[in-house]
Structure 1
């Protein structure tokens, strides 16, 4: 399948990277950072197609016709690399995959059959082994780790070793929404490419181009604090209705018309607790804007912190309903 076109804010970051390539200043390790759902993966894929092309055009762009470009376009779907129980790297794309393009994300826990909540050392070791192999098409090789801020700490040393031993034509790109979670030793060895939220007018125009009504696009942008990727996702997957429901529940808690334990059970039942908590944190932040009462500001700050702390706990082994209930108790 062909890649979707880049949004204007992605195109600006792409041009920055392309200029670095043309000037010979593009290193083997790249850290692509930006808010969740801002389009880091799509940006990385466009860059990968350019790097892997065997017959680039005069301007450096991918030709679209060589074997590499053909294989890149023929990928049936983008999935994560899965680590088999024996630790070997299982290629997810079958015969139509690009052999020199690797994507590492959340794998499957073979004991539970469910996706993992983190990237583990076996995955990083397998990826490192794959990057030591000779390019099958005779060109470059690109490996993307998404999200790299989900790597567990025991795996960072394995990743660091790969970063410290670069090989010509091998590129390792790390995608992160929270780069502060990465050790300084990792961050310092990567060039940094940032995706920023665009101006509101640009974001609104992009949402309209995607077929969203103006009123709905404005509501979604308000809810996402100007984040077009989140706004688009929430319009499409019911996130806006989740926001409305979360705000209704918060008001019920404030009035004593609901119990935190009951609300927490409801929030985790459909697997959308993280989205609701994000809306809860945004509500606290919005209500704190312009406040001058120190006591009220402290209360809202505590609610904001509690919601974000619960979101972190959802990625741990703590029971989800208990993590959510802690956040909701701050609204009583």
Structure 2
């Protein structure tokens, strides 16, 4: 499987890491952070191919023809499997044919045929065992965990032991969109590499290069608050249309057209309540921008918090329609 080219902001992060590795300043464990869909996994894969290459080019890039590069390209592709209750896509890694590359993520539950909701301790123990072995091709060894946020608390202790026993030539890269959720003991033992949102002009150029019409690219990028990966995902699917429908529902509730429970039941019916709640939170932020009225700002802040709280509740056993309805109450009759 050939890797797609990196976006400019991903390339900058990859070059930064590659320079640190070449200078011997890249540590055993690195926490790679950034918002969802910014390209953390793509960047980590490109860097892994470069690190594992047995005959790198003069510029340090992977040669593409050595045994390591051939095995790297032979791994199977991964595809999104399902949308989780919290709205995130679950996509287990494809199988890695490379003996010195381990890809750790949501495993498929053999009983249900669906991805697990977390990374369990058995997976972390397997990770630790593999990192204790000699690299089979005689070069480096790379383990990528995506998302590290999904590791359950029992497994974090096993991961901590691995972090405390670094070995030369072993790289452990932990990908996270929510690093604050990680234990401080994990964060403190990792270097940090952050993928940041690019300048607006660069993001628009990239979106247009992806084939999106300029006007739609601008609308989506503005709606995504400058996040090109999110804007692209919306434009590839119906995310922008969904956002518009959320705005219409919010406006209707402010005018007492319909009730929060009616709208909530409609929102959860197709399993996309979390996506709508994300749009609702972003809508509150957008409306709050530039406000000077303290009461209006507090109201919109309450709406933002309520939408995000409801998204978190969707991960629990609380009835989805009730969690969503509680969030929508903050919009009802412009409360």
Could you say whether these structures have the same fold, taking a TM-score greater than 0.5 normalized by the shorter chain as the test? yes
Q: The residue matched to 2:222 in structure 1 has which SS?
A: helix
Question: Number of aligned pairs?
Answer: 321
Report whether the alignment pairs 1:283 with 2:277: no
Q: The residue matched to 2:326 in structure 1 has which SS?
A: helix
Please list every run of 5 or more consecutive structure 2 residues that lacks an aligned counterpart in the other structure: 81-91
Checking the alignment, whether the CA contact within 8 Å between 1:79 and 1:103 is kept in structure 2 is: no
TM-fit CA distance, 1:8 = 0.7
Structure 2 match to 1:88: none
How far, CA to CA, are the matches of 2:3 and 2:251 in structure 1? 43
How far, CA to CA, are the matches of 2:316 and 2:165 in structure 1? 32
Report whether the alignment pairs 1:148 with 2:113: no
Structure 1 match to 2:245: 245
| 1:104-141 deviation per Cα after TM superposition (whole angstroms, max 9, x unaligned) | 11223455443233222222222222322332322222
Relative to structure 1, is the Cα distance of residues 219 and 92 closer, same or farther in structure 2, using a 3 angstrom cutoff?
closer
How far, CA to CA, are the matches of 1:236 and 1:201 in structure 2? 20
| 1:234-293 deviation per Cα after TM superposition (whole angstroms, max 9, x unaligned) | 000111011011111111221221222222222222222222111101111111122222
Checking the alignment, whether the CA contact within 8 Å between 1:53 and 1:66 is kept in structure 2 is: yes
Structure 2 match to 1:196: 196
TM-fit CA distance, 1:99 = 2.2
Structure 2 match to 1:85: none
| Coordinate RMSD, CA, aligned | 1.9
TM-fit CA distance, 1:157 = 0.9
Range that drifts further, 176-185 or 210-219: 176-185
Structure 1 match to 2:224: 224
Relative to structure 1, is the Cα distance of residues 310 and 160 closer, same or farther in structure 2, using a 3 angstrom cutoff?
same
Structure 2 match to 1:214: 214
Alignment of 1:106-121 (within 5 A): 106-110=106-110, 112-121=112-121
TM-fit CA distance, 1:219 = 0.7
Q: The residue matched to 2:322 in structure 1 has which SS?
A: helix
TM-fit CA distance, 1:78 = 3.2
Relative to structure 1, is the Cα distance of residues 93 and 222 closer, same or farther in structure 2, using a 3 angstrom cutoff?
closer
Structure 2 match to 1:306: 306
Structure 1 match to 2:273: 273
How far, CA to CA, are the matches of 2:247 and 2:55 in structure 1? 54
Structure 2 match to 1:52: 52
TM-score where L is the length of structure 1? 0.91
How far, CA to CA, are the matches of 1:191 and 1:79 in structure 2? 29
Structure 1 match to 2:170: 170
Report whether the alignment pairs 1:327 with 2:327: yes
Structure 2 match to 1:256: 256
How far, CA to CA, are the matches of 1:12 and 1:242 in structure 2? 32
Structure 2 match to 1:84: none
